Chain A
Amino acid sequence: DAGITQSPRYKITETGRQVTLMCHQTWSHSYMFWYRQDLGHGLRLIYYSAAADITDKGEVSDGYVVSRSKTENFPLTLESATRSQTSVYFCASSEFRTTVETQYFGPGTRLLVL
C-alpha cells in the first residue's frame, strides 16, 4: 500500500516490557518524525530523522530509542515501558526541501501501558 503505515494500531503492554512501534513510508521521503499525542499537550516530537542513519532527539525523547537503517522505515522502541508512556503515537514523513507542509502522518498507534 502506498503512503505511510504504522503497526500495530493498538497495543497493550506491561510496565517494564520493551515495545517497538513500526513506521513505514513508500514515498522515499528523507525526513521522518515520531510524535505522541496526549490530552492537554497536543503533539509533541519524540525523535526525528533527516535521512537513513541520521536521527536526533525531540522534546520528549527520554525512554525512547529510534533507528533508521533504511529510508522507508523508522521504528520507535520503548526500552522499558512506563505508564506515563501510555499515549497515541504518530509517525510522519516529509520531503522538506520541496514543500514544507507535506508532512504526512500515519494513522497512529494507541499504546496502553498497564
Chain B
Amino acid sequence: DQQVKQNSPSLSVQEGRISILNCDYTNSMFDYFLWYKKYPAEGPTFLISISSIKDKNEDGRFTVFLNKSAKHLSLHIVPSQPGDSAVYFCAAIGGSNYKLTFGKGTLLTVNP
C-alpha cells in the first residue's frame, strides 16, 4: 500500500519554463511534507518543505503547494534551469513518527 504516490515517473520541460511535479498521499496522519532532490551517484538532498497548517511555501525559484482536502501537493520550479535536472522525491511524515515515507520519484529533465 503506497502512502505517497508520484504518478509521473518522468517530466521534460524547456529551460525557462515552469516545472510542476505532483505528489499524492493517502495517510491522514501526515502533517509535514518534504521534497528531496537527487543527482546521479549522490545522496538525496533536502529542497523544500511545508507544514500541513500552510498551503504554500516559497523558497526562491521553488514553491510547494499543499491541498489538504485533496491530499495533494505539488512542487513548482520557475524558471526551470538545466541544473534542475534530477530525480525529485516527495516525502511525508506524521504524528510522533520520525520516519519519512517517500514516493517513487520523478525524473525531471530540463532541456536547454
List residues of chain A with CB under 8 Å of any chain B CB: 4, 31, 33, 35, 40-45, 48, 50, 58, 90, 92, 94, 96, 100-108
Contacts and interface: CB of A to CB of B under 8 A. Distances in A.
A90 B44 contact: yes
B104 A90 contact: no
A61 to B, nearest CB: 12
Contact of B46 (A102, A106, A107): A102
B26 interface: no
Nearest to A35: B102
6 contacts: A42-B89, A43-B105, A48-B98, A100-B32, A104-B43, A107-B43
Contacts of B43: 4, 90, 92, 104-108
B93 interface: yes
Nearest to B35: A101
Given A40-B104, A100-B49, A45 B44 contact: no
Contact of B104 (A41, A45, A50): A41
Contacts of B49: 100-101
A108 B99 contact: no
Contacts of B34: 100-101
A107 B41 contact: yes
Nearest to B102: A43
Nearest to A94: B98
Among A92, A96, A103, find the residue whose CB has the most chain B CB atoms closer than 10 A.
A103
Given A90-B43, A105-B44, A42 B102 contact: yes
B40 to A, nearest CB: 10
Contacts of B36: 105
A44 B103 CA distance: 9
A45 B92 CA distance: 13
Among A42, A45, A94, A103, find the residue whose CB has the most chain B CB atoms closer than 10 A.
A42
Contact of A96 (B41, B98, B101): B98
Contact of B98 (A31, A42, A107): A31
Contact of B89 (A43, A45, A58): A43
